[in-house]
């Protein structure tokens, strides 16, 4: 793993509201959280891999899956507790150079993407690295055109992209994060920020039941046998569609 | 349909590059363009429904599917021709109050969404209505935070959304569009602009083969029998995942 100690943290609470118990819910036969565990394991980039949760059930699942378990205080698993709060509590207990949060809400991430993210983190001098989706599309903000002019339609691939934070992967340099927290600043966006674009078909963020259905569809699409395309023709048109 | 004449136009050329012949390619057994034709038909909101193409094959398909066919000049189907060009040529030949473009590249649209879009168009005084996806997420533009501050992490649902144009449905008031074109302005964004948010699981825009696979997976996910969710438990854990 080299000289830089890099720890993976997989945050998981049981009390998710919009998708109840989502971390242990089976997605295509596998508990959601195990997608993140498998990613972190298979990337072979982390000195330690921790599930961070208040739940004893997730403790059992984590240990059974071969990773470590950090039990956070129950009060850091309420709806009001923020990412900053439980990350701070975790970092107080674990020394490292970088913490990389692997989010279970992004089950479509590929191992190769985790490795590229890791490389960006350790090969640069960022304090915080956020994963983003580059949106090459006309965007409005506050009711006004943001990255285009109404005077001319141009090809959307030639627009300046808006970069949407997806929270699939996030890296923090421990020292910068903790310093920000001590000084009562925001650790989440502390120091020099780097942005890491992830592929569109990995960017699904599981927040609602609608997202769950989308993720399921995208996983199905990946598993489909690639067949040659078929086309409509007047000869074979039997109007089944 | 009331007093406002509203015409649907489904643009379709044969020469698509990244997904060859995509409009007649079968998606879950149905030619892509027939998703748009079915939507327009089933919405029961349009005085006329036209496929706009240079292709004789699409002419046959359109007529066989019970809609009208507008043959555009071949030069308006090249890679260089813009939406504005073929829409202008279409509107020169067809009188109406509003033209609504139903884009075959959005096969996940639902009929109810088309109806809501129509209502927004005819119940307001917009000249152009664009379909958008509301992105409630931290966004960077030009390397800088756009809708959030690095000083404070707030819940993303409380952010001001960035509204991304998806081109699934677009409406133009004919008179305003044609006036802009005559005055050598941009018809595409002419006059008073309205934005119509569409549901996230309908916003897939078919541009690449990757998008095609995603759309296929999402259609399969929709067709799955809704089963009750299943969860991991220590009792039944046989580690197949």
- Pull the structure tokens for residue B68: 């009208």
**pLDDT digit string, tens, across residues B44-98:** 999 999 999 999 999 999 999 999 999 999 999 888 888 899 999 999 999 999 9
**Considering the domain boundaries, does residue A190 fall inside one?**
yes
**Considering the domain boundaries, does residue A94 fall inside one?**
yes
DSSP A222: H
Residues of A in contact with B147 (CB under 8 A): 141
Distance (Å, whole) CA B108 – CA B211: 12
- Pull the structure tokens for residue B19: 């997904």
Search chain B and give the residue with CA nearest A211: B201
Search chain A and give the residue with CA nearest B139: A164
**Considering the domain boundaries, does residue A35 fall inside one?**
yes
Q: Give the CATH number of the domain where residue B11 resides.
A: 3.90.550.10
Residues 6+ apart with CB under 8 A from A153: B82, B83, B84, B186, B188, B189
Helix, coil or strand: residue B45: coil
Mean pLDDT score of chain A, rounded to an integer?
A: 93
- The alpha-carbon gap from B201 to the nearest alpha carbon of chain A, in Å, equals 7
The parent domain of residue B178 ranges over 6-136+162-223
Residues of A in contact with B34 (CB under 8 A): 241
**pLDDT digit string, tens, across residues A174-197:** 999 999 999 999 999 999 999 999
Search chain A and give the residue with CA nearest B33: A232
**Considering the domain boundaries, does residue A232 fall inside one?**
no
**pLDDT digit string, tens, across residues A82-129:** 889 999 999 999 999 999 999 999 999 999 999 999 999 999 999 999
Q: Which of B86, B141, B148, B216 to mutate to test the interface with A (most CBs of A within 10 A)?
A: B141
**Considering the domain boundaries, does residue B15 fall inside one?**
yes
CB pair distance less than 8 Å for B25 and A231 = yes
**Considering the domain boundaries, does residue B45 fall inside one?**
yes
- The alpha-carbon gap from A84 to the nearest alpha carbon of chain B, in Å, equals 8
Please state the pTM of the whole predicted model: 0.93
Strands (E), B1-125: 6-11, 26-27, 30-31, 48-53, 68-71, 98-102
**Considering the domain boundaries, does residue B205 fall inside one?**
yes
pLDDT of A35 higher than 70: yes
Structural domain count of chain B: 1
Distance (Å, whole) CA A152 – CA B76: 18
**Considering the domain boundaries, does residue B125 fall inside one?**
yes
CB pair distance less than 8 Å for B231 and A31 = yes
Residue entry with tokens 């078929």: A230
Alpha-carbon distances, residue B54 vs B58, B74, B77, B117 (angstroms): 8, 5, 7, 28
């Amino acid at each position: 793993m080299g000289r830089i100690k890099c720890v993976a943290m997989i945050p998981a609470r049981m009390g998710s509201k919009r998708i109840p118990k989502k971390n242990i819910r089976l997605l295509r036969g596998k508990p959601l959280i195990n997608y993140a565990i498998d990613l972190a394991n298979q990337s072979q980039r982390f000195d330690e891999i921790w599930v961070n949760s208040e739940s004893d059930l997730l403790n059992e699942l984590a240990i059974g899956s071969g990773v470590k378990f950090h039990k956070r205080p129950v009060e850091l698993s309420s709806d009001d507790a923020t990412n900053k709060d439980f990350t701070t509590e975790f970092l107080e207990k674990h020394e490292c150079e970088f913490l990389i949060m692997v989010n279970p809400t992004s089950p479509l991430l590929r191992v190769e993407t985790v490795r590229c993210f890791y490389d960006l983190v350790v090969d640069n001098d960022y304090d915080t690295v956020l994963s983003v989706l580059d949106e090459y599309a006309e965007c409005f903000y506050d009711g006004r055109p943001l990255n285009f002019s109404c005077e001319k339609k141009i090809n959307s691939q030639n627009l300046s992209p808006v970069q949407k934070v997806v929270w699939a992967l996030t890296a923090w340099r421990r020292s910068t994060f903790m310093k920000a927290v001590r000084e009562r600043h925001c650790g989440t966006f502390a120091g020099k920020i780097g942005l890491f674009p992830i592929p569109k078909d990995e960017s699904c963020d599981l927040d609602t039941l609608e997202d769950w259905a989308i993720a399921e569809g995208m996983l199905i699409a990946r598993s489909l046998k690639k067949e040659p395309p078929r086309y409509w023709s007047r000869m074979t048109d039997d109007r089944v569609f």
